[in-house]
C-alpha cells in the first residue's frame, strides 16, 4: 500500500480551479519537493493535502484512509503542517507555541500531563530551541521562529510532515540549518516529508523526488536528475538555465542564464 495516494485531484477556491486533475503516489519515508513557477498551485496542493481545503473532486488517501473523512483531531495526529511564518503576529512564548502542538491529544479543558511536557522538551531540544523556550516568538529571528514551528509540528508526533517554503526569507546559513534538521528527521524516524521549495538547488540537494507543477498540472514527478533538465525548466519556468552537476553529491545544479549579461 502506498503511504500517500492522490487520485484525480481537483482543488481551488470558490469558482477558481487551481489544481487540475492530478494523481501521484508517495512511499513512506520519502522526501518530496513540490516546485514550479509562481501561481502553479503549489500552496493550494499542500493545503489540500493538509486537510485545510476540501477537494472539488478526487481523493487523498493516507495509509488507505480518505483524509477528508477523518476528524480534524485524528488527522492532526497523523499529519503536521508548517505554513509560512505568520506566528510573529502573536506574542506567545516559544513554549506556549510548541505546547499547542499537543492539542490533538488533549480533550476539552484537559491540561498537559507529564508525558506531554516530556514530548515538548524533547522537541525543543531536537530543534535547538530549549534555551529560547521562554522568549516571545515575535522577538526571535526568522530562522528561530521557523525552528519553533517545526518543534510544534514534531510534538504532534506525525507520520507526514508538510512544509510551505520553510526557507523563505532565510539566509543561506539558516536555509541549510532548517533543511538539515528536516532531512535528519526524515532519515532517523522515517518521517515522510512533502515540502514546497522555490530554490531549485536546495530542492535538488535535499529531496528524493521533485513534483513539478505548472498551471495546476503535473509536468513531471521523478528524481532531481530527471526533472531538473534544460528542456523541462525552460518549459515550466520560461527561463534559460545552465544545468551542471554538484561534484560532491552528483545532484543537478541550476544556474540561471542571462542573455543580456
Q: Which pLDDT belongs to residue 35? A: 98
Q: Which pLDDT belongs to residue 112? A: 77
Compare 2 and 227 and report the one with higher pLDDT.
Answer: 227
> What's the domain range around 139?
92-158
Tell me what the pLDDT averaged over the chain comes to: 92
E strand residue ranges, the chain: 4-13, 16-26, 31-35, 57-62, 65-66, 79-82, 160-164, 192-196, 209-214, 217-222, 241-245, 252-256
Q: Highest mean pLDDT: which of 80-89, 108-117, 213-222, 241-250? A: 213-222
Report the C-alpha dihedral over residues 55, 6, 196, 90, rounded to 10 degrees.
Answer: 40
Assess if residue 142 is contained within a domain. Answer: yes
Residue 14 has pLDDT above 60, yes or no: yes
Assess if residue 46 is contained within a domain. Answer: no
Residue 194 has pLDDT above 70, yes or no: yes
Which DSSP helix (H) or strand (E) runs through 204?
Answer: helix 200-206
d(CA 37, CA 43): 11
Assess if residue 191 is contained within a domain. Answer: no
Assess if residue 114 is contained within a domain. Answer: yes
> Residues 216-235: what's their mean pLDDT?
95
Report the C-alpha dihedral over residues 211, 248, 184, 172, rounded to 10 degrees.
Answer: -80
Assess if residue 118 is contained within a domain. Answer: yes
CB distance 200 to 37 below 8 Å: no
Task: Please tell me the total number of residues recorded for the chain in this structure.
Answer: 261
pLDDT digits (tens, 9 = 90+) for 98-155: 999 999 988 666 777 889 999 999 999 999 999 999 999 989 998 999 999 999 999 9
Q: Structurally, how many domains does the chain consist of? A: 1
Exposure string (b/e) for 140-163, b if CB count within 10 Å is 16 or more? Answer: bebbbbbbbbbbbbbbbbbbbbbb
Q: Which pLDDT belongs to residue 246? A: 85
Percentage, residues of the chain above pLDDT 70: 95
Of 90-99, 107-116, 153-162, the poorest mean pLDDT is in 107-116
User: Who contacts 260 (Cβ-Cβ below 8 Å, separation ≥6)?
Assistant: none
Q: Which pLDDT belongs to residue 240? A: 86
Please give the DSSP secondary-structure letter assigned to residue 81: E
Assess if residue 50 is contained within a domain. Answer: no
Q: Which pLDDT belongs to residue 197? A: 97
Assess if residue 108 is contained within a domain. Answer: yes
Assess if residue 106 is contained within a domain. Answer: yes
CB distance 126 to 184 below 8 Å: no
Report the C-alpha dihedral over residues 152, 153, 154, 159, rounded to 10 degrees.
Answer: 160
Q: Which pLDDT belongs to residue 88? A: 55
Find the radius of gyration of the CA atoms of the chain.
19
Confidence of residue 226 (pLDDT cuts 50, 70, 90): very high
pLDDT digits (tens, 9 = 90+) for 169-180: 899 999 999 999
The answer, as to whether pTM is greater than 0.85, is yes
> Residues 45-73: what's their mean pLDDT?
94
Please give the DSSP secondary-structure letter assigned to residue 93: B
Amino acid at each position: 500500500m502506498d503511504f500517500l495516494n492522490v487520485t484525480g485531484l481537483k482543488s481551488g477556491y470558490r469558482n477558481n480551479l487551481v489544481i487540475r486533475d492530478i494523481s501521484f503516489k508517495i512511499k513512506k519515508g520519502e522526501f518530496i519537493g513540490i516546485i514550479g513557477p509562481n501561481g502553479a498551485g503549489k500552496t493550494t496542493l499542500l493545503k489540500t493535502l493538509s486537510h485545510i481545503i476540501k477537494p472539488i473532486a478526487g481523493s487523498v488517501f493516507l495509509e488507505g484512509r480518505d483524509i477528508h473523512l477523518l476528524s480534524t483531531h485524528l488527522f492532526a495526529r497523523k499529519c503536521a503542517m508548517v505554513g509560512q511564518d505568520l506566528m510573529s503576529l502573536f506574542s506567545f512564548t516559544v513554549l506556549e507555541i510548541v505546547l499547542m502542538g499537543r492539542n490533538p491529544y488533549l480533550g476539552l479543558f484537559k491540561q498537559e500531563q507529564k508525558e506531554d511536557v516530556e514530548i515538548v522538551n524533547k522537541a525543543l531540544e531536537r530543534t535547538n530551541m530549549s534555551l529560547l523556550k521562554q522568549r516571545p516568538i515575535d522577538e526571535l529571528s526568522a530562522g528561530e521562529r521557523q525552528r519553533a514551528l517545526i518543534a510544534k509540528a514534531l510534538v504532534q508526533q506525525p507520520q507526514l510532515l508538510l512544509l510551505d517554503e520553510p526557507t523563505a526569507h532565510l539566509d543561506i546559513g539558516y536555509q541549510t540549518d532548517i533543511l538539515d534538521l528536516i532531512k535528519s528527521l526524515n532519515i532517523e524516524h522515517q518521517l515522510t516529508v512533502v515540502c514546497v521549495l522555490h530554490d531549485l538547488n536546495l530542492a535538488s540537494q535535499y529531496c528524493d523526488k521533485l513534483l513539478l507543477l505548472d498551471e495546476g498540472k503535473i509536468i513531471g514527478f521523478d528524481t532531481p536528475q530527471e526533472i531538473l533538465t534544460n528542456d523541462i525548466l525552460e518549459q515550466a519556468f520560461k527561463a534559460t538555465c545552465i544545468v551542471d552537476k554538484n561534484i560532491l553529491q552528483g545532484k543537478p545544479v541550476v544556474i540561471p542564464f542571462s542573455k543580456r549579461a
